Amino acid sequence: MAQPVSTLTLNERSTGNNGASSVMGEKEIFHHHIQRAGLKRTAQRDLILDVFLGTDEHLSSEDLYRLVQEKDPTIGQTTVYRTLKLMTEAGIAREVRFGDGKTRYERNSKLPHHHHMICVECGHTIEFLSSELEAIQNEIAAKYRFEPKQHSLRIFGLCADCRDRAPARHNLETVEPRVRLSLARAHK
């Protein structure tokens, strides 16, 4: 059965029962990854990691850069890009794309295999889980001897708010009311 979880609920989960300890776990994973790969721990990486773990949003590199800037204005965009990639390689961040051209990152440790509903009007996202999806994936994959590594379901449409706000939008002059991804506004 599908188990929907709102972004808010996700937040509660992240900082509720095992909040600090899981953040600790992520930091450890990051530092282990750095060591194992023969890389170095730096103040910049620590700061960027901290800021990243302090949110549960879907941050773009630019978003994270802005947040980091507030704490240390000397850190450059490039370092944020590089650290984000590093965190992804370490497995504590995950890339998500909502069709607005920029890559976003979310924490990878919680809510495994969750998916997104993305409002094409306001960019708001809702996260949800579905174990049925795993079943579908495995069924399909088996038929093709395909080895699934990752999957992503995105549902584009109108969130409740935008639905109420723009009820006339549906009967526009378009023959087939297809979603134009290019219409998606800035995220959040």
User: Which residues make up the interface to a copy of itself (CB under 8 A)?
Assistant: 2, 4, 6, 29, 32-33, 36, 85, 88-89, 91, 94-95, 97, 99, 108, 117, 119-120, 126, 128, 130, 132-133, 136-137, 139-141, 143-160, 163, 173-182
Specify the pairing of strand 93-97 against strand 59-60: unpaired
Give, as ranges, the residues between 113 and 172 that touch DNA (CB under 7 A): none
Decide whether 19 or 146 has the Cβ nearer to a copy of itself: 146
Decide whether 44 or 109 has the Cβ nearer to DNA: 44
Give the shortest CB-92-to-DNA separation in angstroms.
16
Q: Which stretch binds DNA (CB under 7 A): 3-11, 16-24, 81-89, 152-160?
A: 81-89
Q: Where are the beta strands (DSSP E) in 16-139?
A: 59-60, 93-97, 103-107, 115-119, 125-130
25's CB contacts (< 8 A; 6+ apart) are 109
Helix (H, G, I), strand (E, B) or coil at 102: coil
User: For 168, which DSSP code?
Assistant: G
Of the residues 39, 135, 140, 155, which one makes contact with DNA according to CB under 7 A: 39
Q: Which does 50 bind (CB under 5 to 8 A by kind): a copy of itself, DNA, none?
A: none
**Helix H or strand E segment including 4:** strand 2-4
Of the residues 13, 82, 113, 188, which one makes contact with DNA according to CB under 7 A: 82
The sign of the CA dihedral 119, 124, 130, 135 is positive
